[in-house]
Amino acid sequence: MQFDAQLIETLRGARHVAVLTGAGVSAESKIPTFRDAMTGLWARYRPEELATPQAFAANPKLVWDWYQWRRGLVEAAAPNEGQKALARLADLVPRLTLITQNVDSLHQRAGSPEVVELHGNISRTKCAREGRIVASWPDTDQVPPPCPHCGAHLRPDVVWFGESLPPEALRQAADAARRCDVFFSIGTSALVQPAASLIYETMRRGGMTVELNPGETPQSDEVTHSLRGPSGVILPALLHAAWPEA
Ligand code: OAD
């Protein structure tokens, strides 16, 4: 695979690389992306209709069951070559900030030492009323189960449409986008804010921006380099091209 010489040179010389990932980096681990049609039991729903506070208020059991199904997929999944390449990248550049919109922990399981999670984590559960993280709850037939402290519904600790992002994660992500030499946007449709706007912080300063996606996104014409293909193939090849000795 051939890569642009300037991309390779900038990557090798970069002091700080920022990477934003989306559902596409987990696609090769067989976790469906958000904007792919769902199959089987969930085929008649769209994720955008289930991942909202309004959906949870209207039908908490439906939303809880959907997340239980996704949790099962995540637990059965294994990190793929793209996620493993990003874990190796942490040892190849002086500083890497890995920012993800994914809630599946696959970057951590691939070995990435630090991950900024913008949209929470599906493996954590919190009280829908007080936001307190809850590690266990009484075994009842209630779905969703009740909070052991206040009895309100429990919910996954993920960010739903219309909710704010965790402020510290957003601060770290924006800080990295402002300071990095190279910003990668990988496997994201670049449609959901504020994550999709982080890349503009790097562009504004004249930093290099790289998109990696099998398809086009609204940012394809704006980035310095647009790499087309699956991250599980392109990322290992890119690392090999930049650090053949590693
Ligand atoms: P999307 O499902 O919107 O987009 C996935 C992107 O991955 C698409 O642009 C695909 O072309 C691309 N893709 C598919 N297979 C790929 C592969 N093998 N390698 C690389 N890219 C591939 O997912 P996100 O952009 O992550 O938010 O969605 C952003 C947010 O919207 C999610 O975090 C979620 C969602 O609804 C919340 O839940 C708040």
Q: Could you give the CA distance from residue 140 to residue 146 in angstroms, rounded to a whole number?
A: 8
Q: Cβ–Cβ contacts within 10 Å for residue 187, how many? A: 27
Scanning the structure block, which residue is given the tokens 């993800």? 100
Ligand 1 shell residues, CB under 6 Å: 22-25, 27-28, 33-35, 47, 51, 101, 119, 159, 161, 187-189, 191-192, 213-215, 217, 230-232
Residue type at 22? G
CB count within 10 Å of CB 155 equals 22
Distance separating alpha carbons of residues 207 and 188, to the nearest angstrom: 20
Give the position, in ligand 1's atom list, of the atom nearest the Cα of 119: 39
* 52 burial type by CB count under 10 A (0-12 exposed, 13-18 middle, 19+ buried): middle
- How many whole angstroms separate alpha carbon 185 and alpha carbon 219? 9
pLDDT (tens place) for every residue of the chain, 246 residues total: 899 999 999 999 999 999 999 999 999 999 988 877 677 778 888 888 899 999 999 999 999 999 999 999 999 999 999 999 999 999 999 999 999 999 999 999 999 999 999 999 999 999 999 999 999 999 999 999 999 999 999 999 999 999 999 999 999 999 999 999 999 999 999 999 999 999 999 999 999 999 999 999 999 999 999 999 999 999 999 999 999 998
Q: Are 100 and 20 within 8 A, CB to CB?
A: yes
Q: Which domains does the chain have, with CATH numbers?
A: 1-31+79-119+159-246 (3.40.50.1220), 34-76+130-155 (3.30.1600.10)
Euclidean distance between CA atoms 45 and 65, whole angstroms: 13
Distance between CA atoms of residues 54 and 216, nearest Å: 31
To test ligand 1's pocket by mutation, which of 25, 36, 101, 105 has the most ligand atoms within 8 angstroms of CB?
101
Q: Write the single-letter amino acid at 13.
A: G
Task: Please say whether the dihedral angle defined by the alpha carbons of residues 121, 67, 161 and 221, taken in this order, is positive or negative.
Answer: positive
